[in-house]
A and B are shown apart, each in its own frame.
Chain A
């Protein structure tokens, strides 16, 4: 397996979506190609670090305001829909 072929399969490898044969070819490549090993390892860390860090938390007070606003707009929508028809 060449480095470019490894790169094409990287996402499938990290997602556990490879068949046994391709997975084994890829792991053989990783065993001797240090650059590809590092790329694989740091890409995995990239995913983990983004998964572990919640960048955009919704604060409780804002969350409460949004929920109230959503439900009041939904009620208004319902009333408008079931209200008397205008001619």
Chain B
């Protein structure tokens, strides 16, 4: 918090240090939400600029990082809405899918997926799979499970209730598991046609 206080007093080197500390995280979050590299770059710049301009309003009741994430998520969702005006993009959306019931495919992943694929293949599968999630689920999963925010911090950053975060997280995790299973079981069964593994996108 010392860096934040120095930055609030007008010390730009302290703010620059905050940029260096969190720019990778903000970029990752922005790219996960917008799914677009240029938008993610703009989000990083705009989020830090907004944080800089509003530092005086930061009350220090939450972590600076949680506050910054909240700004970045809002910027990213705004850009996503601009790119997809035909679709409602909201963190409040409730998406009913077949995945809400008990999972259908329950075969274990053996051998371990990280041994089945090379690094590039695995990253492509993971990227395609997470991109298929609705933004409201994707964002909660990224903040909780990729960035490691707590449930409370995620709720604060997204302005959602704790039960809403937990419900979205469960559904996001189960949907990802289900979609990944389709790839991993195909490969385990000797079918190398990975492109059809995520057939519902």
Residues in A lying within 8 Å of B, measured CB to CB? 3-4, 7-8, 10-12, 14-15, 17, 34-35, 38-39, 41-43, 45-47, 49-58, 62-63, 66-67, 69-71, 73-75, 77-78
Contacts and interface: CB of A to CB of B under 8 A. Distances in A.
A38 B185 CA distance: 13
Contacts of A12: 166
A39 B177 CA distance: 8
B2 interface: no
A71 B41 contact: no
B86 to A, nearest CB: 25
Interface of B: 10, 12, 15-16, 19-20, 23-24, 27-28, 31-32, 40-41, 44-45, 48-49, 52-53, 102-103, 106-109, 112-114, 122-123, 126-127, 130, 141, 145-146, 148, 151, 166, 169-170, 173-174, 176-177, 180-181
Nearest to B131: A55
A57 B148 CA distance: 16
A16 to B, nearest CB: 12
Contacts of A15: 151
A69 B28 CA distance: 18
Contacts of B145: 47, 50-51
20 contacts: A7-B170, A10-B173, A10-B174, A11-B169, A11-B170, A39-B103, A41-B108, A46-B180, A50-B145, A50-B176, A53-B123, A53-B126, A55-B123, A55-B126, A56-B40, A57-B24, A70-B48, A71-B12, A74-B12, A77-B53
Contact of A67 (B19, B123, B151, B166): B19
A37 B136 CA distance: 27
Given A12-B166, A56-B31, A47 B23 contact: no
Contacts of B107: 38
A71 B16 contact: yes
Contacts of B15: 71, 74
A73 B176 CA distance: 39
A42 B108 contact: yes
B77 to A, nearest CB: 17
B28 A56 contact: yes
Given A46-B176, A71-B16, A58 B24 contact: yes
Contacts of B141: 50
B19 A71 contact: yes
Contacts of A38: 106-108
A32 B109 CA distance: 19
Contacts of B31: 55-56
